[in-house]
Amino acid sequence: MYIYKVGVAGAGTMGAQIAEVVSFAGLPVVLADVQESLARRGVESVRAIYQARVAKGKMTPEQLEEKMLLVTASPNLDGLHDADLVIEAVSEELRLKQRVFQELDRICPRSAILASNTSALSISALASATKRPGKVIGLHFFNPAYAMPLVEVIPGLGTDPQTVDDVVGFAESLRKQPVIVKECAGFLVNRLLSPYLNEAVWCLQDGDVSIKEIDQDMVSFGMPVGPFTLLDTVGLDIALDVARILHHSYGPRMAPAPLLEAFVKAGRIGIKSGQGFYEYGNVEKGGVDQSLDELREQVWQRTGRHQMTWSKMRPLLAMVNEAVIALQEGIASARDIDLAMAAGTGFPTEKSGPLHLADQLGIDHVLQELEELKEHVGTRFWPAPMLRRLLDAGFTGQAAGRGFFSYEPTLDRMR
């Protein structure tokens, strides 16, 4: 199926970014919201993205105007009546999204594909609100959509294979890197990123290290920004919501760090509130100004103090272990797991992704580290069973020539 026209339901930040990506690829796009003012504001956000390109000399003002001719606003979903593909980008509330999908199902042609940009909610649950489950799919762009190359393609239980093929082809036409992900809570990138971020907060809660030290150590490892800088940018409230969704689905290993909950309760939710793990100088009036030490003391009074020496391997091994569990469950292939984490989070290319990292460290070493962390920290570090299977088979990683991936024999091993 060729997609000639695209609709975007929801003209907020992500909706506008998606509309810009679609129009940049040369396709007409209708940006719809519940009010004309909101839809027009979304169109102006698209213009602002293009204007930034002009300011950097990456396009001319004439090219900007040509692209903007492809973007129109609609004050309601009726404006999407002739779209071949509609991408829903409203707030992360299941009931709200289901109502939107119910309306889109009524308005759009029977041949139209209905996609959701949700980062964690069930695609199958969204499809249940329609009479076309075969045409409903997840299409998760990453923020900022105009810069991030990855999109997750998530079929629901009833999604037709042809719909998957059509959406993969569409993503490629946008010059994006699509990765097909089996439906699960958090999908792939957020499912692996959340334990990494959450463990960084657990480490801070343990009280042996500063925010800046953790961030600096993870940047020196090769991550584009530290976990606390990323949390402040995303919003601690959003990160906590994702952590709670994952905790509900996967159990104790995903339990949100109490310190993260304490920060959110105190109103320190990141850049948007002027305070998160860092101070940003624009604190909202009426906000509760509680310091890290005060919040940490409150948490210790409730949970006790479990002081441990800081190691950057703790958050990294939380990500690695979850990557192995996702591989066991068939959420994605080993190649696609590493590709997604590199493209979606900026995982350092020389490490190639969490599974390549495990191979480089050695499966035996990873298993030993996880066992030690399990003893000292708790069951959230219970090793994925696949690690023992690999070890028993002698597939201990790069040095052995085989782990999660196969490696060419080196001269040293040939001698």
Region 125-132: mean pLDDT is 98
Name the residue with tokens 């909202």: 284
Residue-level pLDDT at 410: 56
Residue-level pLDDT at 287: 44
* Rounded Cα–Cα distance for residues 146 and 16 (Å): 10
Residue-level pLDDT at 115: 98
Residue-level pLDDT at 292: 87
Q: Is the pLDDT of residue 413 over 80?
A: no
Model confidence pTM above 0.85:
yes
Q: Is the pLDDT of residue 185 over 50?
A: yes
Residue 140 annotated in active site: yes
- In contact, 170 and 85? CB cutoff 8 Å: yes
Q: Is the pLDDT of residue 103 over 80?
A: yes
Token pair belonging to 256: 């949100």
Region 346-352: mean pLDDT is 85
Residue-level pLDDT at 282: 57
> What band does 289 get if pLDDT is binned at 50, 70 and 90?
low
Region 186-211: mean pLDDT is 94
> What band does 414 get if pLDDT is binned at 50, 70 and 90?
very low
Where are the domains positioned within the chain? 6-180, 189-303, 313-414
Region 214-239: mean pLDDT is 96
Q: Is the pLDDT of residue 415 over 90?
A: no
**Does 6-180 match 189-303 in CATH topology?**
no
Q: Is the pLDDT of residue 338 over 60?
A: yes
Region 134-163: mean pLDDT is 96
> What band does 283 get if pLDDT is binned at 50, 70 and 90?
low
CATH class of 313-414: mainly alpha
- In contact, 67 and 23? CB cutoff 8 Å: yes
Q: Is the pLDDT of residue 412 over 70?
A: no
> What band does 288 get if pLDDT is binned at 50, 70 and 90?
very low
Region 105-133: mean pLDDT is 96
Residue-level pLDDT at 220: 96
Of 81, 140, 248, 306, the active-site residue reads 140
Residue-level pLDDT at 254: 96
The dotted CATH code for 189-303 is 1.10.1040.10
Q: Is the pLDDT of residue 284 over 70?
A: no
Region 46-52: mean pLDDT is 97
Q: Is the pLDDT of residue 146 over 80?
A: yes
Residue-level pLDDT at 262: 95
Residue-level pLDDT at 307: 81
Q: Is the pLDDT of residue 49 over 80?
A: yes
> What band does 349 get if pLDDT is binned at 50, 70 and 90?
confident
Region 267-282: mean pLDDT is 89
Domain 6-180 has CATH 3.40.50.720: yes
The rounded percent of the chain whose pLDDT value lies above 90 is: 88
pLDDT in tens, 65-99: 999 999 999 999 999 999 999 999 999 899 999 99
pLDDT in tens, 302-327: 888 878 889 999 999 999 999 999 99
pLDDT in tens, 56-69: 999 999 999 999 99
Residue-level pLDDT at 1: 85
The rounded percent of the chain whose pLDDT value lies above 70 is: 96
